[in-house]
Structure formats: C-alpha cells, structure tokens
A = this chain, B = another copy of it.
Amino acid sequence: MCTSKRQMRLGAFIMATGHHIAAWRHPEAQADAGLNIDHYRELAQTAERGKFDLVFVADSPAGWDRAKDHEALRRTAQGAHFEPLTLWAALSQVTKHIGFVATASTTYEDPYLLARRFASLDYISKGRAAWNVVTTGADVSKNFSIAGHPAHADRYERAEEFVDLVKGLWDSYEDDAFIRDKESGVYLDPDKVHLVDHKGKFFSVAGPLNVGRPVQGYPVIVQAGASEPGRELAARTAEMIFTANQTFEDAQEFYSDVKGRLARYGRRPDELLISPGIFPVLGGTEAEAQANYDHIQSLVHPSIAWNILARHYKGIDLSGYSLDDPAPPLPENTELNKSRLKLVSDLVSRNNLTLRQFYLAVATARGHRTVVGTPEQIADAMQSWFENGAADAFNIMPPILPTALTDFVDQVVPILRKRGLFRHEYEGTTLRENLGLQRPPNGFVVQARQQQVQAVV
C-alpha cells in the first residue's frame, strides 16, 4: 500500500430509485425514493461510510406534462423529486464529511437568490457545498413567464456572467470582516464589506450579499457541459467536470483537451478534476454480473422502449421497424443537446446496434460508461482510466438504489483502497480540502492588493 500516490476521488451520483430507467421495478429498489427523505439519508450515510468525496444530484426546473410525456410519467419514477438545495441542507445535518453537489441553472435561477442559498448551504454544512453549474438544455421557459428558451450561445454567455456575479456576491464580506467584540460593541468592520455593483449584459446587481463569505471561500464549482463553449467555460471557471465518455479514447481526448485549455486562464492542470460517470453492474462472478444486468434490462416495459426510441428519432417514422432491426442513423433535430447527441450517435455507429440494443444502452445509463463485472473488474476499469490520463475521479451511477451503492461501497471501495488508489480516512474537514482544491482568495482583496502594488511601482 502506498499512500503518497495520486488519489482517486469518488462521487455518488444519486438518482432516486437508481440510474436504470426501470430501476424502480427492481425488488431491491425503494419505489417512492424521489420524495423519501429517509432513503436519501441512507444513501448519503452509505456514501460517507465509503469515504466518498461527494454526493451529486441532477436537476431541471420542470415537471413532465401528461399530454406530451404520458408513457414516461406512467412508467418511470423520475417525474417528482426533491429540490437539490433543500435536500442537501437536510442531509448535511446527518453526515459530517461528505460534500454535496447541487445542480442549479444559470438560465432559470436568479443570481442573488442562488448565491445566498449556496452560501447558506456552505455554512450549514460547514464547508461541504458545491454547485453544478448548468445552463439547462431543455426548454422549460413555459414555467418562467419569459418569451422562450434562450439559444445555446446565449445560455453560455449568460452562464459566464452569472458565475462571475455570484462569485462577486460571495466576496461581499472579507474573511476577517467579523470582529464581534462584546466589550467595545464593534460587530464588524464595515470597510471589509463590499458592493459587487455588477452591471452586465444580463444582470444589474448591487449587493452586498446578506450572508458571510462561504466557509470554502466559494462552494466548489462543478460543470457538466461537453460542447465547445461548455469546455471553455469549464476551463475558465470549473474545479470539477462531470463528463460522459463511453470509450477510453474519447475520455482521454476530453481529458487532455480540457486540461490543455487551463493554461490560457493561468490555471494548473490539477485545479480542475475530471470525473467521468460510470454505471457499474456488479456480480460475484462475471456470469452473475451479466445475469443481474439482464434482469434489470428485462424490467424495461416495451412501451417505454418505443418511447425512448421516439425521443431519439424525432420526426422519423419507426412504425415499419422491429426492435431487432439495425438502428438507423440518429437525426440531428432531437431534444438532445449536441454533446449528448454525439455520444449516442457514436454508440449506434460504433457497435452496429439493433434498435433493442440501442434503447437498452440508453436505458442503462443515458450514454454513460457501463461496466458489467466482478468487483475486481470494476476496480480495474476505473484504475486503467485513472492511471492513463482519462480521469481524476469517478461519478458512480448505481443502477438500483439503495442496494447498488451499498454493494459498491462494500465490494469495490476496499479493492481501490488496497491498491492505494483511494483514501482510508477523510483528509480535511471541507469538500475543497478533501478534493485537494485550494480555497480561493477574496476577489476584492486581490484587486486592492494589485492596486497597492501598482501604486508603489
């Protein structure tokens, strides 16, 4: 065992009943998971027992319309679930170490209110908050009294301004602003409170925030976009990227491309951790793992199969096809975002899939890497990417919850640990410390120092 080796980071990507689209039907799944706080409590505590760095939830501010998404509503468990910030605030009180990544949209949230909530979560959790910055690919404008969904480029431009503004608001109070001297009656030094006075293309916000500077300086910034502007935004602002790659070559290309972009923003490669998703299907033997995989695949109802296909083949008549026909090329005009479209298109063409194989591949892990095997084989699959420039971390996507997370913690984590790849104990008290990320200095303080230096020169 060698503990000075570079260490792998682990996230548990929690999706209510599990990542498989039919997970909720599995005998081991918690069918009401999306709105069952005791279930999420168990998941966070299991992940913490495994010394995971973080738990992660996806999010979109919209529900499913019964007219348009009838079968998806009827047969999947994904329509109703907790809002991430309230969920993580709750779970921070029943855990001590694990970090919390909440997904929130720069297209549909308000920057002042969101900055406050993340700052509040960071205090409540004593420095364990992270924000997965998304621009929301799907059009959910119907819920927000606005004219329509902004185009891709506009969303990224807005995201950039939004993140900068939020960081400015988090800097409202300098770290040592609070004096709290009961004797003299001085509570804080007003000279250490700043207005952000932001006037940009999308926002005009004065500030200051009404929360102190977050425990971590800023909550950890996570991103998930893989498009060109997504990669660039990540290189400039993200500290962790959650990514979807099927093959080692794709993962390596993504890894080296994004790491290569950091220098132009004055950043070192280790200031941004790259975390591919992985969907592990475990078994005591290979045959057992395969049987577990086949079992859960068998739970996909045929109407959901055709529903998945229809969503991917929008505008194409599939009525002449059977599920065992080869999958035709995917059209461009789907509801998928570009990077997701490329991922599934590659999947189809690379493996010459039938329509059945295609919907099963999508049902499994929505385009993420699937590994079916023994605990040793899962560990091997992770180690090879980790040691060959394709990953710094992994976002584990358990097929069925809670059991597949428990199995991973009990069966795979000990192997990673034995190989010296993963921690025995948490290193720090904040998420940032555990991830090996630095606490950012206050932008106003940095600026003032630069002005002083210039004045002296």
Contact = CB atoms under 8 A, between A and B. Distances in A.
Nearest to A82: B120
B120 A83 contact: yes
A37 B93 CA distance: 9
Nearest to A84: B120
A179 to B, nearest CB: 9
A206 interface: yes
A187 B66 contact: no
Interface in A197-251: 202-212
Nearest to A71: B190
Given A90-B90, A116-B61, A82 B124 contact: yes
Residue in A29, A66, A70, A173 whose Cβ sees the most chain B Cβ within 10 Å: A66
Given A37-B126, A86-B85, A210-B80, A145 B93 contact: no
Interface stretch (A4-12, A107-115, A270-278, A403-411): A107-115
User: How many copies are assembled?
Assistant: 2
B41 A76 contact: no
10 contacts: A63-B208, A65-B206, A80-B210, A83-B119, A86-B86, A86-B124, A87-B89, A142-B205, A145-B204, A185-B301
B31 A120 contact: no
Nearest to A79: B210
Contacts of A180: 24, 31-32, 77
Contact of A73 (B90, B193, B206): B193
Given A24-B180, A108-B113, A144-B112, A193 B123 contact: no
A35 to B, nearest CB: 5
Nearest to A300: B185
Interface in A2-33: 22, 24-27, 29, 31-32
A140 to B, nearest CB: 9
A94 interface: yes
Interface size class of A (residues with CB under 8 A): 35 or more
Contact of A74 (B24, B34, B80, B190): B190
A339 B81 CA distance: 40
A189 interface: yes
A54 interface: no
B193 A61 contact: no
Contacts of A186: 74-75
A89 to B, nearest CB: 4
A182 interface: yes
A330 B307 CA distance: 68
A191 interface: yes
Contacts of A83: 116-117, 119-120, 211
Nearest to A126: B37
Contacts of A145: 202-205
Contact of A90 (B31, B64, B66, B89): B89
A60 B210 CA distance: 9
